[in-house]
Structure 1
Amino acid sequence: MSLAYLIRRLLQAIAVIVGVSVIVFVMVHLLPGGPARAILGPQATPIQVKDFIVANGYNKPLFVQYVNYLLQLLHGNLGYSYTQNAPVRTLIGQALPKTALLVALAYGFSVIIGVPLGIWQAAHRDSALDHSLTSIELTGYSMPLFWLGLLLIDGLAVALHLFPPQGPQGATISASFSDPVALVLPVLSLVITVFGSFARFARSAALDSLAQDYIRTARAKGLSRRQVLTRHVLRNSILPLISLIGLILPLVIAGALVVEQVFNYPGMGLLFWNAAISRDYPVVMGVALVVAVATVLGSLVADILYRLADPRVSY
Structure 2
Amino acid sequence: MIRYTLTRLALLVVGLVVASMLIFLSLRVLPGDVAQLIAGTDSTPTQVAALRERLGLTDPLPQQYLDWIGGLLRGDLGTSLLTGASVSGELLEKARVTVPLGILALVIALLIAVPLGVLSALRRGRPGGGALSVSAQTLAAVPVVWAGMMLVVVFAVWLGWLPAQGFPRAGWSDPVAAARALLLPALTIGIVEGAMLLRFVRSATLQAIGQDYVRTAAAKGLTRTQALLRHGLPNVALSVITVLGLQVAGIIVGAVVIEQLFTLPGIGRMLVADVGSRDLPSVQGELLALTGFVLLVGFVVDLAHRSLDPRQRESS
TM over 0.5: yes
Aligned to 2:74: 75
| Separation in 1, partners of 2:294, 2:129 | 33
Aligned to 1:23: 22
1:103 aligns with 2:102: yes
Map of 1:273 onto structure 2: 272
Deviation larger for 281-290 or 211-220:
281-290
Distance 2:34 2:179 in 1: 41
Checking the alignment, whether the CA contact within 8 Å between 2:34 and 2:279 is kept in structure 1 is no
- Determine the structure 2 residue equivalent to 1:182: 181
**Residue 251 (str. 1) matches residue 250 (str. 2):** yes
Pair 35,20 (structure 1): closer, same or farther in 2 beyond 3 Å? farther
Say whether 1:117 aligns with 2:119.
no
Structure 2 unpaired stretches of 5+: none
The equivalent residue for 1:209 is: 208
Cα separation, partners in 2 of 1:82 and 1:68, compared to 1, 3 Å: closer
* TM-score after normalising by structure 2: 0.90
Percent sequence identity over aligned pairs: 36
Answer whether contact 1:167 1:183 (CA < 8 A) is retained. Answer: no
Conservation of the 8 A alpha-carbon contact between 1:9 and 1:300 = yes
Number of the residue aligned with 1:285:
284
Distance in 2 (CA, whole Å) between partners of 1:77 and 1:209 is 48
1:153 pairs with 2:152? yes
The 1:293/1:42 distance shift into structure 2, 3 A limit, reads farther
Counterpart amino acid of 2:68? Y
Q: The residue matched to 1:7 in structure 2 has which SS?
A: helix
Could you tell me which amino acid in structure 2 is paired with residue 304 of structure 1?
Answer: L
User: Alpha-carbon deviations, 1:217-275, whole Å to 9, x = none?
Assistant: 21122123442232122222101111111122111100011111111111111212333
Instruction: State whether structure 2 residue 91 is matched by structure 1 residue 64.
Output: no
Q: Name which of structure 1's ranges 202-211 and 172-181 shifts more when overlaid on structure 2.
A: 172-181
**What's 2:89 paired with?**
90
- RMSD across aligned C-alpha pairs, in angstroms? 2.3
Counterpart residue type for residue 259 of structure 2: E
Assess, with a 3 A threshold, how the Cα gap between structure 1 residues 38 and 245 changes in structure 2: closer, same or farther.
farther
Structure 1 residue 38, shift from structure 2 partner:
5.6
Answer whether contact 1:205 1:237 (CA < 8 A) is retained: yes
**Could you tell me how far 1:190 is from its partner in structure 2?**
0.7
Task: Say yes or no: does 1:132 pair with 2:131.
Answer: yes
**Structure 1: distance between partners of 2:204 and 2:164:** 38
Equivalent pairs, count:
314
What is the Cα deviation at residue 8 of structure 1?
A: 1.9
Provide, for residues 140-189 of structure 1, a one-character-per-residue CA deviation record: whole Å limited to 9, x for no partner: 11111112111111222112212111253236444455432222211110
Q: Is the alpha carbon distance of 1:112 and 1:58 closer, same or farther for their aligned partners in structure 2, counting shifts above 3 Å?
A: same
Rounded to whole Å, the distance in 2 between the matches of 1:41 and 1:90 is: 26
Separation in 2, partners of 1:235, 1:40: 60
Residue in 2 that maps onto 1:307: 306
Cα contact 1:157–1:165 (8 A) shared by 2: yes
Cα deviation, residue 108, structure 1: 1.2
Q: TM-score, normalised by structure 1?
A: 0.90
Task: Determine the C-alpha separation between the residues in 1 that align with 2:308 and 2:36.
Answer: 52
- Measure, in 2, the Cα distance between the counterparts of 1:70 and 1:38: 25
**Distance in 2 of aligned mates of 1:42 and 1:210:** 68
Q: What secondary structure, in the 3-state scheme, does the structure 1 residue paired with 2:311 have?
A: coil
